[in-house]
Each structure stands twice: as structure tokens, then as C-alpha cells.
Amino acid sequence: MSKLVLAIDTATPAVTAGVVKLDGIDVLAQRVTVDARAHAETLTPNVLAALDDAGLTVDDLGAVVVGCGPGPFTGLRVGMATAAAYGHALGIPVHGVCSLDAIGVDTRGDVLVVTDARRREVYWARYRDGVRVDGPAVDAPADVPGAAEALERSPVYPTAAGLVRAVADWTAEPAPLIPLYLRRPDAKPRSAPPAVTG
């Protein structure tokens, strides 16, 4: 397998695509566009630009890693479908990781990782020396000690290097991609109309 990995994440407003060399987790190129409403429009251009910046083509890739959330339905689907398509077309493995892990994996000590879930809520997970010990979950910031303070700081998004580091075992067969939707869907099934009696 080629030691070059395409890293993709669309679980947050940041649309991230990068090319990472597994040896030493060396980021060869990364493109990030922060726009919560443009995942579909910017992901493929970001992938192609990152490959071009690295002087590579898709045929040089040996694997794909994608952030599986938590995140909004549309954003997650764009990233995961794109990653699956590259994997299928190139015949290479696709590894899914928790997007919060891609942020928390490089932390030291006890750390709370928080991303904006909109609707006055946050996605969160707690880490100890880079290992997740609680979460992921979605709650109001007031219900997560430290979340309000974390939101006041500059937003932190998954990076290409973090996504690659979040894969526990690069030699293992990847598990099926499963999106981390942590809230119920907005759409509700229509109730059956009342029975008409004559």
C-alpha cells in the first residue's frame, strides 16, 4: 500500500482536505475552506488543489480517512460519500474516525473538545492525554462544564494530520463508515389520518 493518505473532514464549518504521508505523519498539502454552507461546492476542489499542491494525483493514494462526525446531516454525507467514492474508484481502504478525535488526539492532560452544533448546542468529548474518555455527545453548553468558555475561544477544526493520527490501526480492515448523528432528525413521520367511519 502507498503510504500516502487523503484526509477529508466536513463535520464542522471547515471543509478540510489534505494529503498526508503516513511515515512521520508528514502533511504534504492541506486545503481548508471555512463555510458551513458550501461543503458540496468546495470539497472536491479542495481535494484536487491539495493533490496538486503536493505534486500528486489520485493514483498515488493508498488510503482515505474521513471524519464521521458528529456533525450535521448534509455536511457529513458530503464528506463520507466523497471518501467512499474515492475508495471505491481507486480500490483503496477508507477509514472513518470521530471528527472530535481528530482534534483531541494531539492534546495532553485533561481536555474538553467542543464544536458548534448550532441550535444553541455543542458537540463535545473529553480527552486524557489524547485518548477519548467521555462522549461524543450533544448538549446545551450550560450542561457541559467548560463548554461555554471553549466556545469563546477561536474555533478549532479537525486537521489532516489529526485525522490520520485518529486511526487506531492502519493495518486493520476498516470498519463500515457510520455517521455520528447525535440528534434526532428534524423531519418527523406524518401521523396516519384519522379513520373515517360511516
Give pLDDT tens digits for 149-188: 888 888 899 999 999 999 999 999 999 999 999 876 555 5
Task: Give the pLDDT band of residue 193 (cuts 50, 70, 90).
Answer: low
Residue 6 in this model has a pLDDT that exceeds 70: yes
Rounded-to-integer distance, Cα 130 and Cα 136, Å: 14
Lowest mean pLDDT among 20-24, 72-76, 132-136, 152-156: 152-156
- The per-residue pLDDT for range 77-130, each reduced to its tens digit, is 999 999 999 999 999 999 999 999 999 999 999 999 999 998 899 999 999 999
* pTM of the predicted structure, to 2 decimals: 0.91
Residue 2 in this model has a pLDDT that exceeds 90: no
Residues of the chain above pLDDT 90, percent: 83
The per-residue pLDDT for 78 is 96
**Cell numbers for 4:** 500516502
Residues of the chain above pLDDT 70, percent: 92
- The per-residue pLDDT for range 26-71, each reduced to its tens digit, is 999 999 999 989 999 999 999 999 999 999 999 999 999 999 999 9
H or E element in which residue 39 lies: helix 39-53
- The superfamily in CATH containing domain 4-105+156-165 is ATPase, nucleotide binding domain (3.30.420.40)
Rounded-to-integer distance, Cα 42 and Cα 51, Å: 14
- How do strand 63-67 and strand 26-34 relate by DSSP bridges? unpaired
3-state secondary structure 57-79: CHHHCCEEEEECCCCCHHHHHHH
Q: Which of 18, 49, 14 is nearest to 35 (CA)?
A: 14
